[in-house]
Structure 1
Amino acid sequence: MYYRIGVESAKIIPEYVCLSCVNSYKKDTAMDHLDEKACKSAGMAVRDTLDTINGKWKLLILLTLFKGGKRRFRELSKEINISPRVLSRELQELEMNKLVSRTVSDTRPVTIEYNITPYCQTLGPVLRAMKEWGEQHRVEILGKKSV
């Protein structure tokens, strides 16, 4: 069973978003467009990415697992300060999208650990780019670096 992506943010990102247009955008100049099919495909890829990591908690969960490795459910809940109900839902969605693995140990009591998958590691450059852009944005808007 896989999470249906591309539905939630369809209203946010129009189908006509063209990444080549975004990359080559300059004020007061005409933008070169890809053919319509390629434009829609590029927009769909961005929507899929946003739908997969969208929400208040998913990025925090992923960053915590990237930074510290395996975590038990309760450890994640306390470290991120998220309710167990919300954490459970977010972890299920991340697991359906193959970003998080769930390991159940046959111990007393049962131990469940979560970790990022090898596939999730491909998000590393995206997360680093988001961090760098966020730092630049903070300087641009507030005029100061984050601590």
Structure 2
Amino acid sequence: MRIEDCPVKSAIDVIGGKWKPLILRELKDGPRRFGELRRAIPGVRHKVLTEQLRQLEGADIVTRRVYGEKVLQSEYRLSSYGETLRPALNALAVWGAAHLEHVAVLS
């Protein structure tokens, strides 16, 4: 199999990186406003969060809703297509918890 045809690479190209998995973790529990995401993900810069959300939006993983009259606010949520990631995100969380235990035993 060529690397370009690898399904794991395809998935990582869309949801991989330092911040996207954490964004998806937050959106897995329901819609979040931009400020809520920023507070929930310590260390992420405003510009980087904006870029990552736009990339996820471009991949149809996340949808953005703008509302408000005087002060515009953005709300992000998993799209219906993004919802199909829920089982994979749950499986990653289970594996991550087991990995933390494994590492603790090694220490």
Normalising by structure 2, what TM-score? 0.85
Q: Which has the higher contact order (CA 8 A, sep 6+)?
A: 2
1:26-58 CA-to-partner distances (Å, cap 9, x unmatched) read xxxxxxxxxxxxx33895211010111111110
Query: Contact (CA 8 Å) 2:23, 2:41: kept in 1 or not?
Result: yes
Is 1:64 the counterpart of 2:64? The answer is no
Letter in 2 for 1:77: R
Q: Partner of 1:52 in structure 2?
A: 14
Q: Partner of 2:56 in structure 1?
A: 94
The count of aligned residue pairs is: 105
- Within a 5 Å distance, the mapping from 1:129-144 to structure 2 comes to 129-143=91-105
Query: Contact (CA 8 Å) 2:15, 2:21: kept in 1 or not?
Result: yes
For the structure 1 residues 139 and 75, does the alpha-carbon distance in structure 2 shift closer, same or farther, using more than 3 Å as the test?
closer
Unpaired segments ≥5 residues, structure 1: 1-38
Is 1:74 the counterpart of 2:39? The answer is no
Alpha-carbon distance in structure 2 between the residues aligned to 1:139 and 1:74: 32
1:86-140 CA-to-partner distances (Å, cap 9, x unmatched) read 1001101110111110111251111211111111111111111112222222333
- Root-mean-square deviation (CA), in Å? 2.0
Unpaired segments ≥5 residues, structure 2: none
Letter in 2 for 1:72: R
TM-superposed CA distance for 1:71, in Å, is: 1.4
Alpha-carbon distance in structure 2 between the residues aligned to 1:135 and 1:90: 25
Alpha-carbon distance in structure 2 between the residues aligned to 1:121 and 1:96: 15
